[in-house]
Amino acid sequence: MGTHIGSGQSRVDPVQTFKLLDEIVTVLGSTKVFFWPLLEATGAIVTTYKNENHRLTATDAGADGFHPFKHPGGIHSYLFTTGDDQHLLGSDAANASFASNADYSIGAFILPEDITTTTIISKYDVNTQREYRLGIDGSGNTELEAYDETNNQDRTGASDTVLTADQWSFVVATFDGADSDTSMTFYLNGAADGTGNTESGAAWA
User: How far is residue 168's CA from residue 162's CA, in Å, rounded to a whole number?
Assistant: 13
Closest CA relative to residue 56, chosen from 40, 41, 42, 45: 45
pLDDT of 60 > 80? The answer is: no
pLDDT at 153: 83
User: Do the Cβ atoms of 184 and 195 come closer than 8 Å?
Assistant: yes
Task: Convert the pLDDT of each residue in 21-31 to its tens digit.
Answer: 999 989 888 88
Task: Convert the pLDDT of each residue in 158-178 to its tens digit.
Answer: 999 999 999 999 999 999 988
Alpha helices in 16-124 (DSSP H): 17-28
pLDDT confidence tier of residue 59, bands split at 50, 70 and 90:
confident
The SS3 of residue 24 is helix
Neighbouring-strand partners of residue 59: 87
User: What contacts 64, CB < 8 A, 6 or more positions away?
Assistant: 81
pLDDT at 132: 92
pLDDT at 188: 97
Closest CA relative to residue 196, chosen from 145, 132, 180: 180
- H or E segment at 109? strand 104-110
pLDDT at 83: 66
> What are φ and ψ of residue 157, in 5° steps?
-130, 165
pLDDT of 5 > 50? The answer is: no
Average pLDDT of the segment spanning 118-132: 84
The SS3 of residue 145 is strand
pLDDT at 189: 96
pLDDT at 172: 96
- The per-residue pLDDT of the chain, averaged, comes to 83
pLDDT at 86: 80
Report the amino acid identity of residue 94.
Answer: A
Closest CA relative to residue 98, chosen from 200, 175, 155: 175
Fold of the domain built from segment(s) 97-205? Jelly Rolls (2.60.120)
User: How far is residue 79's CA from residue 113's CA, in Å, rounded to a whole number?
Assistant: 10
Going by DSSP bridges, is the β-strand pair 169-175/118-123 parallel, antiparallel, or unpaired?
Answer: unpaired
Domain span(s) for CATH 2.60.120.200 in the chain: 97-205
Helices and strands: H and E segment counts in the chain? 1, 14
Closest CA relative to residue 56, chosen from 96, 103, 83: 96
Average pLDDT of the segment spanning 130-148: 93
Report the amino acid identity of residue 119.
Answer: T
Task: Order the strands of the 198-199 sheet from edge to edge.
Answer: 118-123, 132-136, 141-148, 153-162, 198-199
pLDDT of 205 > 90? The answer is: no
